[in-house]
A and B are shown apart, each in its own frame.
Chain A
Amino acid sequence: MIKVFYTITAFLFITVLYAQSPVAPFSGYSGSLPVNPAGLPVNEPTHFPANYQGSAVPCYFQPVKINAPEGCRIAFPVNDHFVQRQTTPYAVGLIVGNDYRLRITDIPFQPGREVFPTVKIIARTYPPQGLELEFPIRIDITQEDIELALDGKFITRVIYLENPQTAMPIRGDSGTQISTDIAGGFNPVAVAATMGQPVAIVRIGGRIPNTLGATDPAFFYGSPSWAAFDKTPSNRYEVTRYQNTPHRKIPVAAGKPAIPVR
């Protein structure tokens, strides 16, 4: 009887242990990126309240530098609208874990056309204090990427932090980001994890905005907060944070129903 009791207890104990195993964030991901059960890197905020719009943003804005072909203009959304088209390269601060929709216009050799890539930061960097803006995550969107997207293709770019132990012995200052093309069917995040630590995912060639005039919040992923890093003439950075304004409740007059009755 006692043996049966201990056997059941041991079985329950093992079951509880297995039930608490962390969940892998990506299918096939086998990199060294420490993650929590929410699929985000350790020490990152794991919970964004649904109504955080307009509230203070205590998160870390990971500096990101987006390089597009010369002449292109990049815009990020605020309140489900694209604002302030900026020239490339564009330095912005993005929050880890959010999807950002951006618009690229003034594409060379493609007058009047535009693409709407998405950027998702999946891990932050840890530069020495004061050097955060000197070492942003570099995201290159090439002319080829844009033209393939305009041609109906879907391009996924996974940016990774190169492991110095397995770095390729080539110069990295040639102006072109080291890029490796893989065939379809592979998991680009898993491939990037073999070369270093994946930090960002860029997707080009997906959805286009609703042309019927109505704003589609899903298209903008809720317009998460971001920060703009503009270099001043004195070679210093000026930080401007953009975030959604809180939704105002329309007051209901006393004695009147909230929904008019026909």
Chain B
Amino acid sequence: MNLLVAQAQQIEAPEIDYGAIAPLLIVLGAACISVLLEALLPKHQRWAVQLVLTLVALVGAVGSLILYATSERPEQGVATLAGAIAVDSPSLFLWATLLVLGFGSVLLIADRSVEPGGAFVAQAAIRPGTVQDRAQATKTGMQTEVFPLTLFALGGMMTFVAANDLLTMFIALEVLSLPLYLLCGLARRRRLLSQEAAVKYFLLGAFASAFFLYGVALLYGYAGSVKLSAIATAAGGTDRSDTLLFAGFGLLVVGLLFKAAVGPFHAWTPDVYQGAPTPVTAFMAACTKVAAFGGILRVLTVAFENTQWEWRGVLYGVAVVSMVIGAILGLTQTDVKRMIAYSSVAHAGFLLIGSIALTPEGDAPGVSATMFYLLAYGFTTIAAFGIVSLVRNSDGEATHLSQWAGLAKRSPIVAATFTFLLLALAGIPLTSGFIGKFVVFSAAIDAGLTPLVVIALVASAVAAFFYLRVIVLMYFSDPAPDGPTVTVPGAFTTIAITLGAVVTLVLGLWPTFVLDWAGTGSFLS
């Protein structure tokens, strides 16, 4: 007993910079409260209370983030919680991105005007296809657990991009993944497809997590520490086993690339994007992308910057494969959600270009470029999925492309907005998509990746075809007689779509503010 007390006295509680991690604490705290509310509140009150709590938590988190970012803080950032979390400029930028994109996604998730009762099932436990299931399809309630799940996922994502050691990163990865697996399976319509998506995502995700963890173990064997900076120090000229380093790196990166939906680790993307409820797809497409690439950026620039010549060729190839798969398979898709999924694979390739744009001198011009791209892409995607959720027929969303024919005649505003978003995804000037591509490609050319940029440009041109095809369908084809109707969205979806479209336009015209902000500082190493 005495011995134990003596030991306990030796353990020093780590310094915690509460101001720095306040946004994270607010989101995770709200998630916990949300779970309690779910248990304590009567069913009919939950939706409203949960929604208010979630939105207030997100706004509060953004507020505390702004407070901290504008206060006197160390320029290179701080490592807190015994060095587990690094709050530096990129962390703050990515946190803000995640919170704002999360806000947009929550609006889509909360919407009950498009689909009576919301896009989520009333009772997930009822078996699909049974009498009870048909009965619940017409009920207006929904599983309000989606709100705490979303908050936990968001908290995990925020931890993931700020994690300063690989073990924290792994925990964060699981915290962000598990709620997402569940969320995928909660669609109100086409439940089997939704559950299939959830199982697929879970199984493949579990594999990826295992890869990641195995990579962490090998790297620990190599460096004797899971800290990113310790790995960097260890890799800087020692006689340790390179096998451990590169095997560990490879496995780690496979786990990260899986989460980021980079080809050839993209196989889950189209199925999951298609099967998941559309608001969740929007959340995954926007926020998971940000989190995964935030993690990739940090790992590559902090831990593996000085071994870049060994791995750059591999990721170079992965980027090419991802762009080619995304652009070419996207051509053959007939479903809007699958098409955007392949487009996201192509975009992941572009983002990877930015992530590996490190110069020999150790500069990382790609970091700020990639972060800008993530922000721009996230907003465009949320708005795009918001619109996908509006085009419906009697059995839910009409996602088959042929059903979109002649949409411009019936709903010119929806068609025009979607066209604008597609042009942004294609990277046409005066949209944020173009500025994003431009900054990423400039950074890559700076870092001597010109051939890769040329391949990326060709891939962009190929991908432009399938975006154009949708525009052709909407504008130049005659509407099908039994075509879908476009639901007039309620306030939540309208706000989410407007937010996405306006940001896409504003960042296309005046990107300076965000560019400056993204470029303010580098990762804490």
Does B associate with A? no
What residues make up the interface of B, taking CB atoms closer than 8 Å to A? none
